[in-house]
């Protein structure tokens, strides 16, 4: 008997929320995040740090700084929901080409507004979230095709299964590195969780476990490279919290 494979296109577990509800949650939490990034960080907090005449008092600025942390933490819920919907979209779309081209079209159309928005609170370059969702879609497409292809030169079924799934996983990892070094929003982590949501879509325990592990690795690396800060812990917890809605 061959090892268990996760390539079935049939979802065995019902989602916690409908697709439209998940979109609403993701959009609302993303808006909350952006309010903190622009109006509080670039507005109230920046004015106090620069000692501008319009700056509020220390107590008021501290209040808005704490509020900003809450808003930015809530915003971490958004991306994993979008990532999950890409894995679901791949599974259920009737026209994968149109789905892909819609994503890439939105990616290019959104880039200039995205860069203008980011310029309000950072000087760093990044490609917007639609590029990340697109490369995540490519990762699961390649994995799906490679893992369901029969390798004619390998006669042993178990070895055949192992090689083609390994090739699929390595291809997804390659896309993850491309996303990371090409400055895609959420980088390797973003591509990885789209891939994990797809591979374990019918097994909620493993989907939750691998996603939480990915969150631990992501924010654990931040702590390792940049030093401990409680905000990394909070960001990791709120990112992992998104699994409740999925």
pLDDT score of 77 more than 60? yes
Neighbours of 40 (CB within 10 A): 21
Handedness of CA 52, 53, 55, 59 (dihedral sign): positive
pLDDT of residue 122: 72
> Which residue from 189, 160, 185 is spatially nearest to 172, judged by alpha carbons?
189
Tens of pLDDT, residues 184-230: 999 999 999 999 999 999 899 999 999 999 999 999 999 999 999 99
Helix (H) / strand (E) containing 58: helix 58-75
Share of the chain above pLDDT 90, in %: 67
pLDDT score of 5 more than 60? no
Tens of pLDDT, residues 86-135: 999 999 999 999 999 999 999 999 999 888 887 776 777 899 999 999 99
Quick one: how far is CA 132 from the chain centroid?
8
- pTM value is 0.88
pLDDT of residue 62: 93
Neighbours of 201 (CB within 10 A): 23
pLDDT of residue 18: 82
């Amino acid at each position: 008997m061959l090892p268990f494979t996760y390539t079935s296109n049939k979802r065995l577990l019902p989602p916690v929320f409908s697709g439209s509800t998940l979109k609403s949650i993701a959009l609302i939490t993303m808006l909350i995040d952006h309010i903190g990034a622009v109006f509080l960080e670039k507005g109230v907090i920046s004015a106090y740090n620069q000692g501008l005449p319009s700056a509020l008092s220390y107590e008021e600025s501290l209040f808005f700084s704490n509020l900003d942390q809450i808003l930015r933490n809530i915003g971490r819920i958004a991306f994993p929901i979008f990532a999950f919907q890409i894995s679901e979209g791949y599974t259920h779309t009737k026209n994968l080409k149109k789905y892909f081209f819609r994503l890439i079209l939105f990616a290019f159309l959104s880039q200039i507004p995205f860069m203008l928005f980011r310029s309000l609170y950072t000087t760093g370059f990044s490609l917007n979230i639609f590029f990340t969702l697109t490369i995540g879609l490519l990762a699961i497409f390649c994995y799906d095709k490679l893992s369901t292809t029969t390798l004619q030169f390998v006669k042993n079924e178990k070895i055949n299964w192992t090689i083609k799934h390994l090739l699929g996983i390595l291809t997804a990892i390659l896309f993850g590195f491309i996303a990371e070094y090409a400055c895609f929003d959420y980088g390797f982590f973003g591509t990885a969780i789209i891939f994990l949501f797809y591979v374990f879509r019918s097994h909620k325990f493993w989907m939750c476990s691998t996603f939480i592990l990915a969150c631990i690795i992501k924010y654990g690396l931040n702590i390792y490279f940049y030093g401990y800060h409680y905000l990394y812990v909070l960001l990791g917890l709120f990112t992992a919290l998104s699994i409740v809605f999925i």
